[in-house]
Amino acid sequence: MQDKIVIADDAIGLIRDGDAVCCSGFVGIGTPDELITALARRFTDSGFPRDLTLVFAAAPGDGKDRGLNRIALQGLIKRAIGGHWSLVPKLARMATDNLIEAYNLPLGTMSHLYRDIAAHRAGTLTQVGLGTFVDPRQAGGKINARTTESLVSTIDIDGKTWLLYKVFPLNVALIRGTTADPEGNITMEREALVLDAQAIAMAVHNSNGLVIAQVERIAASGTLDPRAVVVPGIFVDRVVVASPDAQPQTYGTVYNPGFSSEITMSAATHECPLLDERKMMARRCAFELPLGGVINLGIGVPEVVGAVAAEERLLSHLTLTAEPGVIGGAPQGGLNFGAAVNMDALLHQNQQFDFYDGGGLDLACLGMAQIDRSGNVNVSRFGSRLAGAGGFINISQNASRVIFAGTFTAGGLEVVVEAGRLRIVTEGAQKKLVESVEQITFNGQLAAERGQPVLYVTERCVFRLTSDGLELTEVAPGIDVERDILPQMDFVPIVRKPRPMDPRIFLPQLMNLAAELLDSQLAQRLSYEPERNTMFANFEGMAVRSTSDIESVRRVFEAFCSPIGRRVSLIVNYDGFRLDQAVADQYFEMAARLQSQYCRSASRFTSCAFMRAKLQAAFCDATSTSHVCETHADAMTFAMEQHEAVADGVLQFPRRHHQPF
């Protein structure tokens, strides 16, 4: 068997002129710096290889010199196809200066392209990117005039328009792992993420290319747990052992065992900033957090939302996610962005975007740089500055609800809060609410057409997306619309009767938001059909983790039932319901008391067999008027059999998705 373990220079020496080189990495996580440095060294010393096509999803870089910034060398790179560009500014400058052909495609779509290249499919078919600068009816993702080949086309299927992203062969993969054996099997036990290493390696292997893996160490043959192998050795051609300084876990941390889930960290402490404009916006966003929901928080102001949620004791009711594959836990920021501690699970990046693109997010809270009258948002390009879309298009287009958060103006804005009132000390030099955004990264008109609820939160006011454009809905105390808002906009929004923003946002003490959100969001899950005297409780996706949660359920249920004045037929949806074992007995006792007092029958359904067994044990031994089943239809059948007041027909639950702002 050929020895796959070589030094970096020997591996990089196999790259040929004109090769398409695909590099893994998310900021510094999974970024193969030993290989990248060797490539830069070879070109600097010899002038070869030349005219490479560089392919990357999430920019492997630190915003300065590391990662792909090392190979931003004229003559080495002919074309670059990337999802995110702000952390590779040297490469971005080559693109904006028209020195190389360059494309910006959605990060999630780049991840999916790797799979489709591996499978030799015709392309990646998706609606992600419609109506944005990636749409071929706009720029098709092309960054400059030098770039002429179209990588994106439209296609109509059953009356709907889709985008087809073109596949292309990949000749070289540069990936990173933790441990390799002589056969090239790669594990990632010390990595914070697995990213797309497997998909990239498979795509290059199936394109008859060269797969080079950078690792920390070598294990003996046959000693790796096959379940821990992320990239099988059959995909890998060369293995390079990195020097220690070329393989930090992230660009911000040499190694944190919490990032690799080697240990569970003690309760994370979130440093919540003092009451500045970022915290004001984050506090307003926190009012929209769907308890029991799945959330993506972007960078910038959205990062502070997580700190506010921790401060307000909301984190236990939320599942935070990050686009490179993190489910649950506490996502990190800065040069640790992408990592998390105390994760529930870790997916491959392409799998995470399957979840996102399919509508898995209940809420996304993202940054904003420019907004126009139609609700379009630009975060990807401003003049000569190329930030790139990253995962923004996938996330914003497909989340059930979206909040964009950012300051009203930029460039020197200074505000103060005095006795709960906001005052603008110095206005920012650049307007962010413009007549037309420079580049559409989020299409407001299409969002309005599909009924997606969208909010735009600033430090001084809040806007809502309507079918007619942006409507001013809330104004901060101390802010005058004519003085502080309209003059700083290039267009006039819809203004009806904006209400004051919650005064607690502008006071230093805690807002005590947890109990309020629990009560208000629980109330939205309840409905009543007086003609049938039937009450519906949609507990889908809800979490009950403490005695205070139980008290909220009791309080809201009683407040809802008392005015009805008679005992009801109750139907409860328990799909996805999460109940901590420590409080399960208390919850069931409370529910039984409420049923006895307010219900003449109760039918509970869930597709989870384990939860059905728990519900059966808790309720069905006590009374024949309780029923536990698998489906909504079964629950309705029981209700109709028990009570003639329930008429024929299917009654719908109030949905937790697409709740209006």
pLDDT tens digits along 477-507? 999 999 999 999 999 999 999 999 999 999 9
What mean pLDDT is predicted for residues 107-112? Answer: 99
**Which letter does DSSP use for residue 580 in this model?**
-
- Picking from 413, 402, 411, 414, the residue whose alpha carbon sits closest to that of residue 382 is 411
The answer to whether the beta carbons of residues 173 and 214 sit under 8 Å apart is no
The encoded tokens of residue 642 equal 């028990």
pLDDT of residue 643: 63
pLDDT of residue 624: 65
- Of the chain, the percentage scoring pLDDT greater than 70 comes to 95
Q: CB under 8 Å to 252, separation ≥6 — which residues?
A: 28, 332, 334, 335, 336
Residue 514 parent element (H or E): helix 513-524
pLDDT tens digits along 242-258? 999 999 999 999 999 99
- Picking from 581, 580, 604, 582, the residue whose alpha carbon sits closest to that of residue 592 is 604
pLDDT at 657 over 50: no
Q: How confident is the model at residue 649 (pLDDT cuts 50, 70, 90)?
A: very low
Could you tell me the domains of the chain? 5-123+169-246 (3.40.1080.10), 277-302+360-506 (3.40.1080.10), 513-642 (3.30.750.24)
pLDDT of residue 269: 56
Q: CB under 8 Å to 289, separation ≥6 — which residues?
A: 295, 305, 309, 314, 317, 318, 363, 517
pLDDT of residue 637: 84
pLDDT at 508 over 50: yes
Q: How confident is the model at residue 636 (pLDDT cuts 50, 70, 90)?
A: confident
The encoded tokens of residue 229 equal 């192998």
| SS3 at position 634 | helix
What mean pLDDT is predicted for residues 75-104? Answer: 98
pLDDT at 140 over 50: yes
pLDDT of residue 230: 99
Instruction: Give Cα 476 to chain centroid, integer Å.
Output: 28
The larger pLDDT score, comparing residue 642 to residue 432, is at 432
Q: Which residues make beta-bridge pairs with 526?
A: 537
Question: Which positions are annotated as active-site residues?
Answer: 323
pLDDT of residue 456: 99
| Beta strands at 381-382 and 385-386: parallel, antiparallel or unpaired | antiparallel
> Cα dihedral angle (312, 474, 503, 399), rounded to 10 degrees?
0
Going through 375-531 in order, the beta strands assigned E by DSSP cover 377-378, 381-382, 385-386, 402-405, 409-410, 414-418, 421-426, 430-431, 454-457, 461-466, 469-475, 494-500, 526-529
Q: Which residue has the tokens 């935070």?
A: 320
Cα end-to-end span (Å), the chain = 62
What mean pLDDT is predicted for residues 565-593? Answer: 93
pLDDT at 581 over 60: yes
Using CA atoms, how far residue 136 sits from 121, 149, 154, 326, 423, in Å, is 20, 11, 7, 31, 44
pLDDT at 648 over 60: no
**DSSP assignment string, 291-354:** TT-EEEE-SSHHHHHHHHHHHTT-GGG-EEEETTTEESSEE--GGGBTBEES-SEE--HHHHHH
Q: What is the pLDDT of the chain when averaged over all its residues?
A: 94
Q: How far apart are CA 220 and CA 224, in angstroms?
A: 8
pTM (global) more than 0.85: yes
The answer to whether the beta carbons of residues 543 and 550 sit under 8 Å apart is no
| Beta strands at 340-341 and 330-331: parallel, antiparallel or unpaired | antiparallel
- DSSP 3-state helix, strand, coil percentages of the chain (rounded to 5)? 30, 25, 45
Q: How far apart are CA 266 and CA 644, in angstroms?
A: 55
What mean pLDDT is predicted for residues 25-41? Answer: 99
pLDDT tens digits along 415-434? 999 999 999 999 999 999 99
pLDDT of residue 171: 99
Q: How confident is the model at residue 268 (pLDDT cuts 50, 70, 90)?
A: low
Q: Look at 16-30, 107-121, 327-341, 395-409 and tell me which has the smallest mean pLDDT.
A: 327-341
pLDDT tens digits along 520-573? 888 999 999 998 899 999 998 888 888 988 999 999 999 999 999 999 999 999
pLDDT tens digits along 298-348? 988 998 999 999 999 999 889 999 999 999 999 998 999 999 999 999 999
pLDDT of residue 100: 99
